[in-house]
Structure 1
C-alpha cells in the first residue's frame, strides 16, 4: 500500500475520532458509559465512510486446482460402422473409470470432414479429415495441458497428411486403431477424370487408374460403360512390382443428355472388399451448335470467307440460303447474316424483326440502300455515292469485348458505295473508316442493341481479301477467323434478366455436398429476402417427391441436398405467391470414398503418436490405456495461485459494519431519550 494512502487512512481516523469526541465527550458535562459507546459507534461509522472515500486497495490471493484435459476424439465416418461397438464401448469405459475422472477434465468430440461436439455417433459422415480435427483441438486447448485420444481406422479421405501433425509441447496424442490391420489382396479403380460437359458428335477424354495390393501376379478385365453400354475393355496384368496401370481413352458423345459412366474391374479370387472395384461419374452431352443463316441472292467470294471463318469454331453451323427461303426453315436459326440485301429480302427482314432475332448486315456495291432505309432497322445510309476504297481503323476503345488482338496490318481496302450512316439507336464502333488516308469519323463496322436484340452492320464488301491477307501475314487464318468469331459470339449471346435465377450443377459427386442456390428479385429487381422460396425434388427412377424450403443465406437462398441417395433427379424451384418458377435436372453419382479402404492404416497412426509423445493402442487394450493415464506423473492436477488487487469497496463486511454502527447508534439514542 502506498504511503500516501496510509496517510489518508490516518487522517480519516483522526477526523472520525475528532467528530465522535466533539459530539459525545467534549460537549457533555456528565459523561457516562452510554456516551462512550455512542462515541465509539459514531467513530466506527464515520471512519468506515471515510475509508470508502479513500478506497485503499489490497492484494488478495486465491488458489485453484486445475486438472489436465483429456480429449476423446472419435471418428464418425461410415468406414467405422463395422467397429462402432468397439468404439462406443471403449469411450464408455474410459469416461466411467474413476482413476481417470479423478485426474482429468474429460471432453469428447467427433469428426468427419469437420470437428463437432460428441453428443451421439451416427457414423454417417462421408469424408474423414483427421488433420483438420487435430488442428482445431490445438487451437481450442492452446496453452493448456491436454491429452488427446484418437479413435479411428486411420483412413483419411481429405485434407493434409495427418501423420506429420505436431501438437504443442505440453500436449500428447494417443491413438486407438479400429478395424482390421491385416493387408489383404485387393484391386481398385481410382478417381475418374473427365469433363462435366461434352458436345454432341465430339469425343471427350476419360482418364483413371487401376491399383493392385498383393504379392502374387493377377489378371483382371477392365470395362468402361456409358449408360450400361460397354464402350471400352482392356485386359490387365499386375503384380507386386507393376501394381499400377493408367487408363486413358476418348469416348464418343453420340446422343444428347446426361450419361452415366462406370469404370469397373473384375473381382479377384477371395477379394475381401469389392466396393472399390467400381467407380462412376456422369457427364452431360449438350448440343450447343449455333445455327447461322448466311442469306444472299448473289454469288460472291465473301460468302465462302464468312462461312469458313464462322465455322472455324466447330460449334457453329452456317447455312447459305436465298432470300425466298421458307420461314419454317428460318425458325431454328440463331443468327441471320444478310449479305447485300435488296428489296427481295423484305420477307426475310420482316421475319427477323418479328422474331426480334440478332442479325449481321453486310452491304456492298449491289445493296439497295433505299430499301434498307425504309426497313426501319435503326440506321439510315445516304446513297448515291460512287464506288470507293475504304480502309478499316481499329477502335481500341470498343467496350463490348476485347478486339485488341485483331491486326489490320497491310489489309487491302474494301469496296463500298455507301455514304455517311446515321443511327437512331445506341451504337458502338468496332472499325472506323479511312478514305485516301483520311479518317472520316464514320463507322465501317458497328454494333447496335435494341429491344434485347443485337445487330451489326458492315459497310463494305471483299472481306475475302482480308482473310487472304491474314494468311499472307501469319500463314494461317486465325487473326481474321477469331475476329469474326468474337463478333458472332457477341451477336448470338443473350442476356436473360429473370427475377428468379437458379444455380446448380448437372452432376454431383456422391462423395460431396449437393447444393442448389437461387436468387429472387422483386419487380424493381432488388433482392427480396422476405420471399418464401422452396424446391420440389423428384427422383426420376422411383417418382419419390420431396419438398424442401430453401434457407436464406447471405444474399441468396440455398437447399442442401446432400442427404439424397445416388440417382437422377428433376427439380422445380418456386416462390410463394408468385407464378415464377425454374426447373432442371441433375444426377448424384454413386460413390463413397470411405468404402474404398481394405484395412486400417495403423502405420500412419503409429507415426502420428510417435511425433507427439504418445503410444498406439487397440480396442482390447483399454486397461493399458487406463494404466498409462493414471500412473504417469506428468498427468496430475496442478494448484495455481491467482493474485488480484481488490478495492476496499468490494468488502461487503465493511459496508455491513458501517450500517450496523449507525443503526446501533440511532437505536441507543432513541432508547435513552437522547436527541
Structure 2
C-alpha cells in the first residue's frame, strides 16, 4: 500500500493550487488576453498552465512516497552429508542408491522450503560431494558452520547424513553450536563390530639428527580377534622398494586387545626418510587397509665438519677436540700441516694452530678459505710467522720482538656483543691459569671485536687476547696465545668438570661457524613434511646486487616425484616477493628446483619435501548410531535410516515451528526521485506551447 506524506502542513497544497490558478488566470483569463481566440481555447490553455505550475509548486514541498513491501521467506532446510572415506567405504555398492534417495529428498523439500546442500569432512563446503574422499571427519565444525551461516535466518531443520564417526575436532555432543532448529540424523554405515586388526597410532619425532638412534611407538588394536596371531614389521621405504628393519610377533589374547610396541631405529642417512609399519593380515579380517601406516621422519645432517690443523703436535689440539666432540652437531678432525692432504673446502670451520709458520706458509689453503668463505680461528703461538699472519687477517696485528714470551691471563673487554657469556664463566675465567703469548705489540684492527684483553702480571693492558669479527665476508677469530689446555685442566681442578672451558670454546666456534645465507634467490617451505590433504605452498625471494627485494623476472618451479613424474609451475608475484600454491600432491618424496634469471645471471634453488598419508578414516570403521541419536535428541529431531528418507519431507512440514516468515518493510522515497513527474511537467508545458504556436497566438 502506498501513501504520500509532506514535510510541511497539508494546507500548503491549497497554496500550490492557488498559485497555479493565479498564474493561469493572469495569463489567459484577464481581459484582453488572447482576445482573438475562442474562449474554449483560452480555458484549455489556462488548465494546462494551472496543472504545470501547481505540480511544480507541489514538488517544491518535497513530498515523500511511503510504500509497505511484503516479503515471504521460506524456511531453510540444510542438507549436510558426510563426504569422508569411511562413509564411502560403508556405502559400498549402495552408494548410487543412497545418492538417488538424497536427490529425491532435496527435490521433495524444494517445493515448500529453501534447500541448502552441504558436504562436510575435513571442512564444510556448499554442494554435494559424491567422491567421498575426505581424509578426516569433523562433525562439530559442520554444525558450527551451519549455525554461523543461518543463525539469523529462518532455519527450519537440519538433515545430517553420517556414520557418527568423528576423528577431528571436538565431540559434537558437547560442542557449543547454538543450533536452534531440529536435527534429523540419517544413520549410515554398519554398527556391527567386525574382526579387525589395526595399527591405531604411531608416535615418533618428526625430526631426528643423522647418526642418532630414535624411537617409534606403535599402538596395536584388535577387535573380535581373540587367539589370532600376527607379525608387526617396520620397513624403510625408498624408490628401490622396501627394506625390513624390525619385526615382532603379536598374539591377540582378548576381543578388545590393545598393546604398545616400541622400536629403536638408526638414522643412517640425511633427508626425509619414509617408514612403513605393517601388521600381517589375520584370517577373516574385514578391513586390512588399516593394518598399515606410513610415517615420514626428517633426518637432519646438522653436523658441521671442523678441522683442527696444527703446525706440530701440541696439547692444545686435543683440548680443542675434546671441547667440541661433545656436541653431536660437530664432526671434529685433527691434522698436521706436514701430512694434510684433504680438500679444505670439505670443512665448515678450521682452527689454525701456530699457522702460518716458518715451515708451512699454506698459501693455497688460505686462498681457499677466503674464496670459499670458510670461517677460521687463528691460535697465534711462538711458532707463527707473524709477517704472514698479519697478512692473512686484519683483526689483530702482532709485532713480535725477539723470541721472548709473556705469561698472560684474560680479562673481559667492555662492549662485546657478538654473543652472551654466562655469569659463571665471566667470574671464573680471569682466575684461570696464564697462557703463553709472544713478547711484542698487539694492535687491534678495525674488523676485530676483542672479547678478552691481556693481563700481564697484575697489569691490565689494552692488548687483545681473544678477538673476533668479519673481514671481507669471512668470519675470523684470533687467540693471541697458546696453552689453552691449561685452562681446560684448571677448570676441571676447580669444578670437577670442563663445562666453563667447553662453553667458551663452543660459543666461539658457534659464532664463527654460523654462516649467513647470502644467496640472492631463496625458496622457503613452511615445513618439510605435509599431509596428503594439505596444499604445498612455496615462498621465494630474489635480491639484486644491493640485496634489495625484487620480483620483476618470472620465476619457475619444477617438482619431481621419486618415480620420475614432474610438475611444472610458475610463481605468482606477491608484493616484492613470489608465492606459489602447488595444491595437493600424491604421497611420496619430492625434489624441487626453482629457477629465475636477472641481469644476465641465472639463479637456482634446490630442495626436498615429502607428502605423508592421512589414514584416520581407516582406523575406526564401526558406525556410531548412538551418538547420532543423542545428537538428534539434543536438538529436537529424530534418528532415521536411509529407507526412511522418503517420509522426511512430511515430518518436517508437520512441525509447527517450520513455517514461512513474513517480513514487512516500509520504504520511503522522495517524489523528486520519480523522473516521470518531470516528464509530465514538460508534456504540459510543451502541449501549451504547441497549441499556442499552432493557433498563431504567441
TM-score after normalising by structure 2: 0.86
C-alpha deviation, 1:262, in angstroms: 1.5
2:42 to 35, 38, 41: 35
Q: Partners in 1 of 2:146 and 2:552 — Cα distance? A: 38
Other-structure match for 2:618 = 595
The 5-angstrom pairing of residues 216-255 of structure 1 reads 216=226, 218-227=228-237, 228-238=242-252, 243-255=257-269
Distance 1:403 1:117 in 2: 59
> How far is 1:69 from its partner?
1.2
Q: 1:89-488 alignment to 2 at 5 Å?
A: 89-97=100-108, 100-118=109-127, 121-146=130-155, 147-168=157-178, 170-214=180-224, 216=226, 218-227=228-237, 228-238=242-252, 243-256=257-270, 258-328=272-342, 330=344, 332-341=346-355, 343-344=357-358, 346-348=360-362, 350-356=364-370, 357-375=374-392, 379-384=396-401, 387-394=405-412, 397-404=415-422, 407-411=425-429, 412-415=432-435, 416-417=437-438, 419-424=440-445, 426-435=447-456, 439-471=460-492, 474-488=495-509
Q: Are residue 574 (structure 1) and residue 580 (structure 2) matched?
A: no
Runs of 4+ in 1 over 6 A off after TM superposition: none
Pick one of 613, 624, 637 that aligns with 2:636: 613
In 1, Cα distance between the equivalents of 2:414 and 2:101?
Answer: 73
1:106 Cα deviation after fit: 1.7
Following superposition, the deviation at residue 215 of structure 1 comes to 8.0
Q: 3-state DSSP class of the match of 1:44?
A: helix
Q: Secondary structure at the match of 2:305?
A: strand
In the alignment, is residue 622 of structure 1 matched against residue 645 of structure 2?
Answer: yes
Change (3 A) 1:62 1:334: closer
2:180 touches 2:635 (CA, 8 Å); kept in 1? no
Alpha-carbon separation, structure 1, partners of 2:296 and 2:114:
49
More off after superposition, 153-162 vs 307-316 = 153-162
Aligned-partner Cα distance in 2 for 1:306–1:573: 40
Deviation at 1:674, TM superposition (A): 2.9
Give the Cα separation in 1 of the matches to 2:566 and 2:489: 60
1:48 CA drift (Å): 1.6
Provide the residue aligned with 2:25 in structure 1: 21
Question: CA–CA distance in 1 between the matches of 2:414 and 2:181?
Answer: 64
Q: Which residue of 2 aligns with 1:529?
A: 551
3-state SS, counterpart of residue 169 of structure 2: coil
Decide whether aligned partners of structure 1 residues 521 and 23 sit closer, same or farther in structure 2, where only a CA change above 3 A counts.
same
Deviation at 1:454, TM superposition (A): 1.6
Task: Please say if 1:51 is aligned against 2:69.
Answer: no
C-alpha distance in 2 between matches for 1:620 and 1:492: 71
Name the CA distance, whole Å, in 1 between partners of 2:103 and 2:320: 78
1:456 is displaced (CA, Å) by 0.6
Task: Give the root-mean-square deviation of aligned CA atoms.
Answer: 3.3
Question: Is 1:212–1:243's contact at 8 Å kept on the other side of the alignment?
Answer: yes
Deviation (angstroms), 1:226: 2.7
Contact 2:273-2:298 at 8 Å conserved across structures: yes
SS at match of 1:190: strand
- Once the 2 structures are TM-superposed, how far is the Cα of residue 309 of structure 1 from its aligned partner? 0.9
CA contact (8 A) 2:465 2:481 kept: yes
Gaps (5+ residues) in structure 2? none
TM-score, scaled to structure 1: 0.89
- Alignment partners' CA distance in 2, 1:231 and 1:396: 56
Q: Which runs of 5+ in 1 are unaligned?
A: none
Q: Is the 8 A contact 2:538 2:580 kept in 1?
A: yes
- CA shift at 1:409, angstroms? 2.0
- Counterparts of 1:46 and 1:470, CA distance in 2: 111
Which structure 2 residues correspond to residues 547-558 of structure 1 after superposition, within 5 A? 547-553=568-574, 556-558=577-579
2:542 to 508, 520, 524: 520
Q: 1:297 to 1:188 in 2, by over 3 A?
A: same
- Deviations along 1:621-644, one digit per CA (max 9) or x if unpaired, are 112311222222221222211112
- The CA distance in 1 between the partners of 2:378 and 2:308, in whole Å, is 10
CA distance in 2, matches of 1:555, 1:174: 51
Q: CA deviation at 1:368?
A: 4.2
1:125/1:522 CA distance change after superposition, 3 Å:
farther
CA distance 1:344–1:620, shift in 2 (3 Å): farther
Pairing 1:649–2:667 present: no
Retained in 2: the 8 A contact 1:221–1:266? Answer: yes
Which moves more between the two structures, 420-429 or 331-340?
420-429
TM-fit CA distance, 1:143: 0.9
Q: What SS does the aligned partner of 2:586 have?
A: coil
> What is the alpha-carbon distance in structure 2 between the residues aligned to residue 402 and residue 9 of structure 1?
90
